[in-house]
Amino acid sequence: MAQRTQQLVIDEGRGQFLDRNGEPLTFIEKNVLVLFPFLKRMEWPVEKVARIIHVTPEIIETKLEHAKGPIVFGGKEAYQLSEEQMNQINALKIQGVFAVTRKFKSANVPASQLIGITGENAEEFHERYPDKVKGVHQKIGVTGMQEIFDEWLVSEEQSKLIYHVDAIGGPLFGADVKYLAPANPFYPLNIKTTIDTDMQQALETVADQYKIEKGGLLLLDIENSQILANVSRPAINTSDPFSGGAANYMLKSLAPGSVFKTVVAAAAMDEGIVDESRMFNCNEDIYGDPDDKQHGTINIKTSIAVSCNRTFADLAKELLEKDDHSLEEYAEKLGLLGEISWKGNVFHYEDFSQLQVSEGRIFVSDEERKDINYIAQTGIGQKEVRVTPLGIANMMATIARGGEKYMVSAATSIDYQNGTSMFSFPKKKMEGERISPFTAMKLQQYLRGVVNSPEGTAPHLDTALYTIAGKTGTAQTGKEREGKELYNKWFAGYFPFEEPKYALVAVNMDVQEYEGGIYPIFKDSVDAVYKLENE
């Protein structure tokens, strides 16, 4: 009689992602009952198994009735066994009945766009890994960290239960079930991320509560320059990830609007062009015409608080007269542009980068640097200025640290299966010059004034549970909906002001002028972090 095999995969064998505490992000482990289909043609003590798992024997028999291959009892919502139930079932030693620990893919992966998605592509697999001879069903990373860390995650071999059966599916006597597991207990490797699952979930809730359709939130740990939460909308459609939501807007270059004035202020102070004694006519707009918002004649500190366009248009022109690349230089000094993602040598990789971050820019061509109206618009974060939310969060962290700038990391280590580390990613400074400590201190005061001075643009944030410093931005996008202009609305800042721990950026993209308010989103996010820290 011909011999065949029936098998059930217990673990695909691909490495997984863990949160900062080593808890799984991409999978759930469950103790489950596995039943092989030949049981339906045999006499076996179904009552004993039913009694252990507290169901009727009929329920087990009904499940087996339709089984074509080995089944996990309870299907996707698998019945979770206790350790004691597992031991009791396995002690019965019934052919075709097993209690095992199985990995299930998480339905909702926290920070899903940052983690990324996998797909099956045999051709791409063999191109990436010519030395590995594997079956067609090899999953490879396609986006995000799944793609970046793919070489360490790619599966060695699956763990499975195999049973030899005869031609009609009955058990071959004397041929017991085999549990095939990878020979090397250290593999596959796991990636330990910087994600704080509780904070991630809290900010996901805020994004959904305020119905952010496009945009998101990014939270950084200032001391270690690590991403604690990365929320991007639209969310990934888990049943069809490529149909939408796979993009991580926190790493994409977007028009920043007035948040960019922070760079202009830093450059002008560092270059000695402005101090608090200098006044600007903020009754006029950037072209010298009367402005709708009559802010009066004010200094740099108040100009940041009220977000006066005239001040930053004038300063941008003076800066570019002095050095036509000064805005790029200061954007790099603040950690807004340049090598933001953790980068370094990892084994045989030179310049391995943890994140795929869009390159930002301030001007597209040198012609633009000569046009004063173009420069004026650039100084207020319009025209061709494009920066990433990650870069803006990093800039706020840099200011909060007094000018120290660090690369941002999303992973802390590559770990063996037993939890020991194979490679750790150390905290790394960003190369290049930085702003002076005095300028950083002044910026801290001015960004606090945005929230706590009577004329500041964000007084609503002064009711938050932590003290906040930061900057608003409303960027024109050049897009319209129902004949009305669309904007990117931003708030970026850090908290608590006295002892900075977190930098946060919130952006609501492509919203009309009177919708998608950013302050409640930012405040509720800060309050959520406070509650997790203090309750």
Residue 474's DSSP bridge partners are 489
258 is catalytic: yes
pLDDT in the model for residue 396? 98
* Dist CA 182 CA 258 (whole Å): 55
Which carries the bigger pLDDT value, residue 169 or residue 106? 106
Would you say residue 136 has pLDDT above 80? Answer: no
Phi and psi at residue 355, to the nearest 5°: -135, 150
Q: Would the pLDDT of 247 be above 70? A: yes
- What's the pLDDT band for 1 if we cut at 50, 70, 90? very low
Is the pLDDT higher at 175 or at 455? 455
The better pLDDT of the pair 162, 174 is held by: 162
| pLDDT, tens digit (0-9, with 9 covering 90-100), for 256-290 | 999 999 999 999 999 999 999 999 999 999 999 99
Does residue 107 or residue 49 have the better pLDDT?
49
The residue with greater pLDDT, 122 or 444, is 444
Q: Is residue 11 part of a domain?
A: no
Q: Is the pLDDT of residue 169 over 70?
A: no
Q: Domain for residue 487, yes or no? A: yes
Residue 154 lies in a domain: no
Q: Is the pLDDT of residue 78 over 80?
A: no
Per-residue pLDDT averaged across 312-328, rounded?
A: 97
Question: How much is the pLDDT for 3?
Answer: 54
In a domain, 175, yes or no: no
- Bigger pLDDT: 403 vs 118: 403
Q: Which residue has the tokens 């790619």?
A: 154
- Domain that includes residue 488, residue range: 197-232+247-534
Residue 60 lies in a domain: no
Q: Tell me which H or E stretch contains 328.
A: helix 326-333
Residue 48 pLDDT: 95
Residue pLDDT, tens place only, 368-394? 999 999 999 999 999 999 999 999 999
Q: What percent of the chain has pLDDT over 90?
A: 74
The better pLDDT of the pair 137, 57 is held by: 57
pLDDT, residue 135, reads 54
Residue 192 within a domain: no
DSSP tag of 262:
H
In a domain, 83, yes or no: no
Per-residue pLDDT at 53: 93
Sign of CA dihedral 314, 487, 332, 495: positive
203: which 2 tokens?
């900010």
Active-site hit among 159, 258, 303, 326? 258
Query: Higher model confidence: residue 6 or residue 519?
Result: 519
At residue 8, does pLDDT exceed 70? yes
- The total domain count for the chain is 1
- Domain membership of residue 8 (yes or no) is no
What CATH code is carried by the domain that includes residue 427?
3.40.710.10
- In this predicted structure, the answer to whether residue 137 has a pLDDT above a threshold of 70 is no
Contacts made by residues 528-531, CB under 8 angstroms, sequence distance 24+: 528/199, 528/202, 528/203, 528/205, 528/206, 529/199, 529/202, 529/219, 529/466, 529/502, 529/504, 530/464, 530/465, 530/466, 531/202, 531/465
Residue bearing the bigger pLDDT, 509 or 121:
509
pLDDT tops 50 at residue 531: yes
pLDDT of residue 84: 95
- Give which of 256, 231, 259 is closest to 245, Cα–Cα: 231
